[in-house]
Structure 1
Amino acid sequence: MARMHSRRRGSSGSDRPTATEPPEWSEVDEAAIEERVVELAEAGHDPSVIGLKLRDEGVQGVPVPDVKLATGKKVTEILEEHGASDDLPEDLRNLMERAVGLREHMERNPGDAQNKRALQNTESKIRRLVDYYRGDELDESFTYEYDEAKELLE
């Protein structure tokens, strides 16, 4: 399938192995995993980074290959239970940060046509994601505006 904003094809990747239970070598207590997830979230890490840290560093020296297999819950579900979740979904926040950076660049460099196009594409992706999340994770009245995005990210 082609990428969203270019004529190139997407890169193919390998599929995750279909496992129904965690491996024997990674037997870590569910409570310890949840505690570590909350600790990493309070340190300011995003859910994707938390998953990488648990995979690489582990809990008490034992790596956790898949949080959902080990605990039965996703990282974001654990964060919601403990009240450590973010007000915006991670992918939407990252796109908003990129759009704010591009807008600031455009204010300094008004003749930069490539970044103007990149800003248009990024804001298009943001609007599409807002439509997807509206009602579930965002308010019904939420719309993307540059000024509001800048305030939300501060």
Structure 2
Amino acid sequence: MARMHTRRRGSSGSDKPAADEPPEWSDVDADAVEDRVVELKEQGYDPSQIGMKLRDEGVQGTPVPDVKLATGKKVTEILEEHDATDELPEDLRNLMERAVRLRDHMNEHPLDASNKRALQNAESKVRRLVSYYRGDVLDEDFTYEHEEVKELLGYDD
């Protein structure tokens, strides 16, 4: 897939191995994995961080290479079932935080041309994701405004 704001192609990354069932050495109970996912969310971890912690630390000392293979559900689906989701999706929240940090940087350094371009790209990506999530996860009338997003994310002046 090509990158959004450059003329280059995307770099090829690693692919997950095609597997239908978890490996034999990872015989963790699905309920224990779900309980650990909810526990990690209560500790303040994002879904991507939860997947990495389960891969590295595991449940009861046994690593979980893939939550979906072990439980049949994605991490976000498990969190939705237990009403432990955030009000904003993780990808949108991360992009909004980046845009807020860049806007604050631009207020201090108005002649920084490269970060001005980065701010434009970040806000463009935020607007694209907002239109994707509008009506489903976000309200119909939600729009990206710097001050409102700053309050939503909990940044203090």
- TM > 0.5: yes
Normalising by the residue count of structure 2, what TM-score does the alignment of the two structures yield?
Answer: 0.94
Matched, 1:60 2:60: yes
Matched, 1:86 2:86: yes
Question: What is aligned with 1:12?
Answer: 12
Matched, 1:149 2:149: yes
Q: Which sections of structure 2, spanning at least 5 residues, go unmatched?
A: none
- Secondary structure, aligned partner of 2:106: helix
Q: Deviations 1:14-63 (Å, cap 9, x if unpaired)? A: 32111111111111111111111011111111100100000011000000
CA distance in 1 between partners of 2:2 and 2:141 (Å): 32
Q: 1:144 offset after TM fit, Å?
A: 0.8
Dislocated runs of 4+, deviation >2 Å: none
Q: Which shifted more, 37-46 or 92-101? A: 37-46
CA distance in 2 between partners of 1:152 and 1:30 (Å): 35
CA distance in 2 between partners of 1:107 and 1:85 (Å): 33
- Secondary structure, aligned partner of 2:86: coil
Q: 1:87 offset after TM fit, Å?
A: 0.6
Question: What is aligned with 2:27?
Answer: 27
Question: What is aligned with 2:139?
Answer: 139
Question: What is aligned with 1:76?
Answer: 76
**RMSD across aligned positions (CA):** 1.0
CA distance in 2 between partners of 1:9 and 1:81 (Å): 38
Q: Deviations 1:80-108 (Å, cap 9, x if unpaired)? A: 11111111010000000000000000111
Q: Which sections of structure 1, spanning at least 5 residues, go unmatched?
A: none
CA distance in 1 between partners of 2:147 and 2:119 (Å): 15
CA distance in 2 between partners of 1:70 and 1:135 (Å): 32
Q: Which shifted more, 107-116 or 8-17? A: 8-17
Q: 1:136 offset after TM fit, Å?
A: 1.4
Q: 1:2 offset after TM fit, Å?
A: 3.0
Query: When the two structures are aligned, how many residues end up with a matched partner?
Result: 154
Query: Taking every aligned residue pair, what percent have the same amino acid on both sides?
Result: 78
CA distance in 2 between partners of 1:59 and 1:3 (Å): 36
